[in-house]
Amino acid sequence: MNTFEEIIAVINQHQRFIILSHIRPDGDAIGSTIALGSTLEAMGKEVTYINEDGVPESLAFLPGSDKVKQPTDDVLDVEVAIAVDCANKPRLGEQALKMAANATLWINIDHHKSNPGYGDLNYIDAQSPATGQILYQMIKEQGLTLTNEARDSIYVAVSTDTGSFQYSGTTAATYEMAANLVNLGLNTGKINEQIYDSFPYRRVALTRELLNTLEISSCGEIADWHLLKKVKHELDLKPDDSEGLIDMIRSIQGVSVALFFEELMDDSIRVSIRSKTGSIDACEIAQLFGGGGHAKAAGIRMSGSIAEVRLAVICEVSKHLL
């Protein structure tokens, strides 16, 4: 792994950058993109912000979110590509990777334990609760300018990836960071309202539909629900409408593992895994099916029907409960 000093030294040697984050972006992906991009611009760099799927509707309130564009067919004249919050290079998206094809240097900044280190320079801290916190540490330790855009984006990145500072990966440094961001002018009341209290009605309708599919294993330790394509069409759902809903079934008393099976438009199945106990590693289970992530939050994309995928994954989870 490289150091912050090495990464900033390379950044200082170049002028034109492209920043990318994973498909189906969440708060950490978009927040980290904006925070790093804003920091580089404050250093006088030219920055292009790209995400394969664009900014989710729920994060459009973030200052600087309008800079994050979906990829075009252009191959950009950039020197350095920086991937943030992305466990593997293909998850950056085919079109996004095409735009970055001219980059002669790749920097990889992430906190997923399954990240293989696909950059020329890599800073991967699986103990950090969010990539946003890694960027905050880099900005502070290297004496860089923390812009207002970066301040707000880092807060959103870390807050959303820690379940509003609830998950066990939240550290003392996380709370110290949040306190410093408040001291720098962060409006916590306003930004928390925008993150957690501004959902469209269709999200409530989706919750109702998901609850109708909820199943609990006979042992009471596995809870799962599923989402079909036809329901997405009926409710006119956006990709991020389901973000965080799995925590509802994860919180059921006695449940150790929560699973969310989602039928995607290409007929593959997206599986979200949430573990509530340190003895069950969600990432290890996901990796058995070609996925990855964190010890308590991981994901898979695999072929097959909902029924087939559900049977295979629940069977594997059950083995880990023994």
Sequence-separated (6 or more) residues with CB below 8 Å from residue 27: 59, 156, 157, 159, 160, 161, 195
Closest among 90, 48, 84 to 69, alpha carbons compared: 48
pLDDT at 278: 80
pLDDT at 32: 98
CB 24 within 8 A of CB 158: no
Is 201-321 in the same CATH topology as 4-196? Answer: no
Q: Domain extents for the chain?
A: 4-196, 201-321
| Per-residue tens of pLDDT for the chain, all 322 residues | 999 999 999 999 999 999 999 999 999 999 999 999 999 999 999 999 999 999 999 999 999 999 999 999 999 999 999 999 999 999 999 999 999 999 999 999 999 999 999 999 999 999 999 999 999 999 999 999 999 999 999 999 999 999 999 888 899 999 999 999 999 999 999 999 999 999 999 999 999 999 999 999 999 999 999 999 999 999 999 989 999 999 999 999 999 999 999 999 999 999 999 999 888 999 999 999 999 999 999 999 999 999 999 999 999 999 999 7
Rounded to two decimals, the pTM is: 0.92
Structure tokens that stand for 133 in this block:
């916190």
pLDDT at 322: 73
Tell me the pairing of strands 105-110 and 16-21.
Answer: unpaired
φ/ψ (deg, to 5) at 149 = -60, -45
Q: How many whole angstroms separate alpha carbon 203 and alpha carbon 279?
A: 32
Q: Does domain 4-196 have CATH number 3.90.1640.10?
A: yes
> What are the C-alpha distances in Å from 110 to residues 13, 107, 116, 205?
22, 10, 10, 34
Which of 3.30.390.30, 2.60.40.10, 3.40.50.300, 3.10.310.30 is the CATH number of 201-321?
3.10.310.30
Sequence-separated (6 or more) residues with CB below 8 Å from residue 103: 18, 78, 79, 80, 81
Q: In what order do the strands lie in the sheet with 80-84?
A: 68-69, 46-51, 16-21, 80-84, 105-110, 121-124
pLDDT at 277: 85
Sequence-separated (6 or more) residues with CB below 8 Å from residue 199: 58
Sequence-separated (6 or more) residues with CB below 8 Å from residue 191: 152, 155, 156
